[in-house]
Chains A and B, each alone.
Chain A
């Protein structure tokens, strides 16, 4: 059987084929060709869309260009969610490639009203993403090891994590990240599992609470245990049709999968286990 390490590689090298098209309302000098790209699931949009920006700027006048932002079927895509989460949440079960609309102006009134729109504005540079990414890692380590591991690291280790993500260097990233995934054997897991449960049906951004990988009686908690406590509606009732899919990295792990294992192997580089609960498609 394949080694658990292969899962880390598969997770890291997950790619979403994407087709970028320019919004109809943008003023262009000539028609803009769509742009095709393989986006890393574990990365963030601003880190991987430089090429897209360059491509469309070629057909636009400089005075028409404000900041670039992206939208999928009317939903603005938040820059601080991992790309895979955005895709699973909004576009799973659709036809590939994923079709993203590129905007350079903020004149869409529908979007402007939404509060989260402000998030988009603030991503002015990669250093903002870096700060966000590092704070996620620190938050995750606070849950996992009372911040002991991340605080023991040197500045250059932190940098290496970020550079690993930015440059898509799996080995570089994991050389440091493995330390964040360690735990004392006698405890059977982290202190708490860093997770976020996303849903499309609610305004609440995500669910995040304290949850231990092992019960006080010493039983291993599973994905099912987590959902039962955090989001019971996501679980199918007996005999009922499955209403929701529980998706992590585009796959649906079995509910009896141990949570600790998931946290070690299917977490994003920010060290959080991002779980998307989406309605089962009604074909």
Chain B
């Protein structure tokens, strides 16, 4: 989990942050003045300073905040001057916005605040709809407004071009004042709260910021998003009363506290209306004591009352933002805050310490106990440095003052101050029925009679609190903690010995119930670790001793006695089980079979085995068998109900018809897969992690496979047939994997998380022997499942879910052929679990209306995002998130989500040499990773490479040639990339093949291959060292989904529609045959494993094949023996 920050303000107004990985509060030094309050999001922190102005601290990230300003220059042709800026009176301005309505001269553009700077001067955009224009970037039309083309025609009377200029937000990591508006605000701000980032992902980085003024008015800041972090203006929100404090959660919850002690809840907050529409009133948790403070998260509301009691609101969610009842909690707090993942932080009313609520999970949102965060501040000399110092070095220990020692015990004793708490009994809640229907202020605690239980609970709580306190003092060797408390009471703000906090904000702090935090008892821990724990060197000593002694033992007891007979004879070992088999003959169906694996030792001591499948064929017992050493792969198959897997041999690969089996339970299948996999690896003598040359691939299920390339895999003219390649699974779940020949491997998950390979093997269901001990980590992936809601228009009722009898299901998959309802839809396989509810998906290509509908004339047709007269049907897409948790040799590379990654394929000179690695963020930014070496494959940080438009694919060749594909389908070449200038200098636009939008690029040693959206594979002609952009695209093949070009210029693809003797397969690994220096395009395809494959990378395989001398008589290279009848275009059929 990436490191994130908890923000707090102490009673002197100093701002501190505490890292989730840290052990001390770091003071925010650059704050020029004292602050009153802070509110944090992950990307920034807002605060109110003592001058009552609002300040913003945007955290520096690898992605700069850049804003693109644009304006259009318009010209009209006249017979005298040709094209000139002399326009007709009815025309638009010479410089205008894209509509022509706004006058926008270049010098009208001003920086919005002193926190911005220009990146450069204005320049002309020379790209037009993915194609480079003639010089000067003009596009032509008959008249304004009209369709523009890049070519001048005889009837082109007007032309226009786009000017661009970027401004950059420079005030990163400092507190920058938000300029006050022209319309002066009536009174200073007193409270502030940000959130709302989960309401809508567009525009990127959108935030809701709510503020309260001293007069009790509420303001909403409009227009905050990534490219405009400061927002644009304040808008007043009408209120039913005077507000003292407000809290905004990450989602659609906004609650505020009124002066009178009631609470108000904002209703109507949604995608299109982040500000909400109205307020509903909720009464204070306690009838006598008003509420003073409220804090909301995604699904929780916590409140404090004037007597410092803590309350938890039950039943809160998006549909019912008011919740249903209050539950009294243990603890006395003066301030409370809900951070990410609904984690709760509070400040104790007595000790002013920051408490963290432990045990908050999605199923137990109220958590278990309050635990004090007891870490020192970086300024606390007397606390941390002195004491730690005296303990760290034994030499100083004796000369160090006694004082340091005593301080340590003091902190230690303050450590375990945990208020123990029982689970809150349900009867203890105060019910407030009919909450939040109206603004009626007369609502009181419900007429039900939970009075007794309420009182009862409070008493019980008092007792609990007391016992808690007793326990506390009992095990803290009393003196110090007593002293602390008396000090605090005498002079609450005078002593700087332990921090006194005023405000805390966890809105940027990504912690969940699994996070290991070092915030508690840190001194105790550090004392322990210094004195007692074993140093790595010692660890090595005992382990080394055991390894050495064991090998000595072998020498002593066995080496001289090898000729002795073994007591136990090796024998055949059979493992049997029952499974279901997808039978080979028609009609195909699952039938019960007996399955057996017989293992035995081969003549040279190598292990081998045979698989048997015993079945009944018309009452007759028959069996099918396969030799373990012929099995090329064991693939788990995506199936929402069965636990099934497929076994391939070269023969079965040719047929495109594997042995498909399904086990009764997931556990059984994993046991079998692990066993079979070990058996296959044993028979081939493969063990340990994949080599650096390994070929990696990914199935459509997200499973990761590696294959060790043989020396002759790329040999000419007789390469190893690729259906004979042996693939073994590596734990983890990925969508993309890329590697290079020094063993650097990166992956990208379905949720766009970046992962780096740790050098281990196994994980997932490989446990015990088939998995490495170290380097295996938990991996989580999240993806969306989609279903469609379809409706047809009829003249009486408008759009309804009553379709024509011939229509598709009203709830269906994308094709409309299968019924998919919200209730019957299952996650893709039993490994996935739902983590959200069904929500309308607005990010569908073609666009949607405000309710997510897309319209068309009829099913199936092309859909558009607005209703026209001709539309009679509409559909909308619903998405539901599901999550998979597994393990594998992968570690997360936070924080930027990626959509593509590429690593320079060839070998570096040494393990400390920096290896160029480029990536595309999931927002389309181009990034260059710094500090990547064989020893540190994760690198250190991202360098942002500016582009004029978002990108989607990138590849770097062996000679640092960087090629990329923009989202509009055009290609770009990056100039001057070298080790001195790892990011290069500028992009050269490369026109795409005519009428095709490119989607992926891969660059090998010299060759450049691209795949377009229609599945065509293109080779770049004319690429030379002096002209690396090449001259033209040459069509190689169709039905191609993905391409990977390697450091030997070898070409591998994932092809669709490969015909086998029994079946057709989509998503098949294919190898280009006949690739030679003089014939880089190759000649034909060899078909390997598939279907169901999504991704392959051969960029690790830099092993030059052994050279075969061909008889000089042969004029042409003979075609390989296999597939001679198939030429390049035969991938399609």
Contacts and interface: CB of A to CB of B under 8 A. Distances in A.
Contact of B547 (A7, A49, A172, A177): A7
Given A16-B557, A97-B561, A251-B550, A257 B767 contact: no
Contact of A171 (B570, B678, B773): B678
A167 B767 contact: no
A36 B554 contact: no
B546 interface: yes
A140 interface: no
A116 to B, nearest CB: 24
Contacts of B532: 219
Interface string A240-270: 0000000001111110111000000110000
B557 A1 contact: no
A73 to B, nearest CB: 19
Interface stretch (A38-46, A122-130, A193-201): A38-46
A207 B561 CA distance: 34
Contact of A36 (B533, B546, B565): B565
A38 B549 contact: no
A220 interface: yes
Contact of A256 (B542, B556, B570, B767): B542
A119 interface: no
A5 B773 contact: yes
Interface string A21-44: 000000000000000111110010
Contact of B768 (A14, A175, A254, A265): A175
A174 B769 contact: yes
Interface string B563-578: 0111110110101000
A246 B560 CA distance: 25
A258 B532 CA distance: 13
B547 A217 contact: no
B179 to A, nearest CB: 50
A2 B567 contact: no
A15 interface: yes
8 contacts: A7-B547, A11-B550, A14-B554, A38-B564, A51-B567, A171-B769, A254-B545, A257-B542
A48 B532 CA distance: 45
Given A38-B558, A40-B567, A254-B541, A3 B772 contact: yes
B363 interface: no
Given A4-B773, A251-B550, 18 more contacts: A1-B544, A7-B546, A7-B550, A10-B551, A14-B554, A37-B565, A38-B558, A97-B561, A97-B564, A166-B568, A169-B573, A218-B528, A219-B532, A249-B553, A252-B549, A254-B541, A256-B534, A266-B546
B773 A167 contact: no
Nearest to A220: B534
B675 interface: yes
A51 B675 CA distance: 31
A251 B549 contact: yes
A37 B557 contact: no
A277 B701 CA distance: 54
B538 interface: yes
Contacts of A169: 573
Contacts of A47: 568
Contacts of A166: 568
A54 interface: no
Contacts of A71: none
Interface string B595-632: 00000000000000000000000000000000000000
Contacts of A48: 567-568
B1069 interface: no
B553 A174 contact: no
A168 B528 contact: no
A7 B546 CA distance: 8
A119 to B, nearest CB: 21
Contacts of A1: 540, 543-544, 547
Contacts of B550: 7, 10-11, 249, 251
A131 interface: no
A2 B675 contact: no
A167 B547 contact: no
Interface string B764-780: 00011100110000000
Contacts of A218: 528
Contacts of A36: 561, 564-565
B97 interface: no
Nearest to B568: A168
Contacts of A217: 528
A17 interface: yes
A59 interface: no
B674 interface: yes
B111 to A, nearest CB: 52
B557 A14 contact: yes
A251 B545 CA distance: 9
B671 interface: yes
Contacts of B545: 253-254, 257
A204 interface: no
A221 B566 CA distance: 38
Contacts of B547: 1-2, 6-7
Contacts of B546: 7, 251, 253, 257, 265-266
Given A2-B547, A218-B528, A250 B557 contact: yes
A96 interface: yes
A17 B567 contact: no
Contacts of B767: 178
B768 A174 contact: yes
Contacts of B538: 256
Contacts of A96: 556-557, 560-561
B769 A5 contact: yes
B558 A15 contact: yes
Nearest to A36: B564
Given A250-B553, A253-B545, A219 B567 contact: no
B558 A168 contact: no
B566 A38 contact: yes
Nearest to B570: A168
Given A17-B557, A249-B553, A251-B550, A38 B769 contact: no
A265 B540 CA distance: 16
B766 to A, nearest CB: 11
Contact of A178 (B544, B556, B675, B769): B769
A66 B768 CA distance: 44
A38 B671 contact: no
Contact of B557 (A15, A49, A167): A15
Contact of A37 (B554, B556, B564): B564
A39 B773 CA distance: 29
